[in-house]
A = this chain, B = another copy of it.
Amino acid sequence: MDLADLTPDALTLLGRAAYIQLIIFENLSTAVAAAPSAESKDTLGRVAAAALARQNGLRLEIERHGAEPGAAMQPFMAEIDAYQRATQGADWFEMLVSCHVTAGFLDNFFARLAAGLPAEAANRLKAVYATDAASELLAKEIRAAIEEQPQLSSRLAMWGRRLVGDTMLIARASLASSSNLVSDEARIEPVFTELIAAHTRRMDSLGLTA
- CB neighbours (8 Å) of A72 from chain B are 38
- CB neighbours (8 Å) of A59 from chain B are 42
Stretch binding the partner chain, chosen from A21-29, A111-119, A150-158, A184-192: A21-29
Contact pattern, A 61-96, Cβ under 8 Å of B = 1, otherwise 0:
000000011111110110000000000000000000
- Docked CA distance A43–B39 (Å): 28
Stretch binding the partner chain, chosen from A1-9, A45-53, A125-133: A45-53
Check A40 for interface membership: any CB of B closer than 8 A.
yes
Interface residue tally for chain A (C-beta within 8 Å): 34
- Docked CA distance A74–B18 (Å): 34
- Docked CA distance A76–B53 (Å): 28
What's the nearest-Cβ distance from chain B to residue A138, in Å? 15
- Docked CA distance A71–B102 (Å): 30
Check A30 for interface membership: any CB of B closer than 8 A.
yes
A22 with B39: CB separation less than 8 A: no
Instruction: Select A70's contact among B38, B48, B73, beta carbons within 8 Å.
Output: B38
A22 with B30: CB separation less than 8 A: no
A52 with B56: CB separation less than 8 A: no
- Docked CA distance A29–B35 (Å): 14
A32 with B22: CB separation less than 8 A: yes
B52 with A48: CB separation less than 8 A: yes
Please judge, given known A-B contacts A29-B29, A33-B30, whether A69 and B42 are in contact too, CB under 8 Å: yes
What's the nearest-Cβ distance from chain B to residue A178, in Å? 28
Check A41 for interface membership: any CB of B closer than 8 A.
yes
Check A105 for interface membership: any CB of B closer than 8 A.
no
- Docked CA distance A25–B39 (Å): 15
Which residues on A are within 8 Å of B, measured CB to CB?
18-19, 22, 25-26, 29-30, 32-33, 37-43, 45-46, 48-49, 52-53, 55-56, 59, 68-74, 76-77
